[in-house]
Amino acid sequence: MIASVSSLNASTPAAAPLAPSRAQSGAEMQDRFLKLLVAQLNNQDPMNPMDNAQMTSQMAQINTVTGIQKMQQSIELMTGQMQASHSLQGLQMIGRDVLVNGDRLSAQASGVSRGAFELASSAEQVQLEVFNAAGHKVGSKDLGPMNAGRQDFSLNASDFPQGTHFKIKASQLGQAVQAQTMAYDKVVSTANSTAAGLSFRLQNSGDVSYSHIKSVY
């Protein structure tokens, strides 16, 4: 019968089980295993040598535990670095102007209101409609033909004194062209980060994930 790594011959005091407690680290497990191995090699019966296959298996188990612990340490380190990077990134964003999905007109100190939109395809006719806070239309402006992609516009605020929101109507050969409206806003602080990433609190649009910010100015 072949002896296991954890068994010693009759002349050697019985050793504690090799299985480690949950509190043991991979290094402690490895040190204990090597001590038991040396003791067994010194006291084994030449006619009944140690099972090399079992020894190899137990060594592999210890290496696996050690590897998992090292991986966990690496993940914790990376998580800490990412959190520090997010904090720095958040501080750098405060006070910056950003562009996000929305329909709110951004009033500038110069007396100009601006906004943006993105056309899914080219349009031969694009019309801007302006609404007040109650949702009532207060005016419109023909923007003419436009290419696909992002388009910016600005309005004289005095022409639409009550205007706060806008819509875009676009068409090509009588068929409607999809238009995604976008609003300019300002970052006032960082918000609670989630698994999705860093979020910011905007002046008019509330909390917005960094991934939803189209441009930073």
Max mean pLDDT among 9-23, 31-45, 85-99, 135-149 falls in 135-149
62 with 168, same domain: the answer is no
Q: How confident is the model at residue 5 (pLDDT cuts 50, 70, 90)?
A: very low
Domain boundary among 91, 122, 143: 91
Residue 110's nearest CA partner among 154, 140, 163 is 154
Phi then psi for residue 84, to 5 deg, are -65, -40
Q: Is residue 18 part of a domain?
A: no
Q: Is residue 80 part of a domain?
A: yes
Q: Residues 100, 213: contact at Cβ < 8 Å?
A: yes
Domain boundary among 43, 59, 91: 91
State how many domains the chain has: 2
Integer Cα distance of 11 and 165 in angstroms: 91
DSSP string, 140-186: EEEEEEE-SEEEEEEEEGGGSTT--EEEEEEEETTEE--EEEEEEEE
Predicted confidence (pLDDT) per residue in 194-214, tens digit? 555 788 999 999 999 888 999
Integer Cα distance of 131 and 49 in angstroms: 90
Q: Residues 43, 5: contact at Cβ < 8 Å?
A: no
186 with 140, same domain: the answer is yes
Residue-level pLDDT at 142? 96
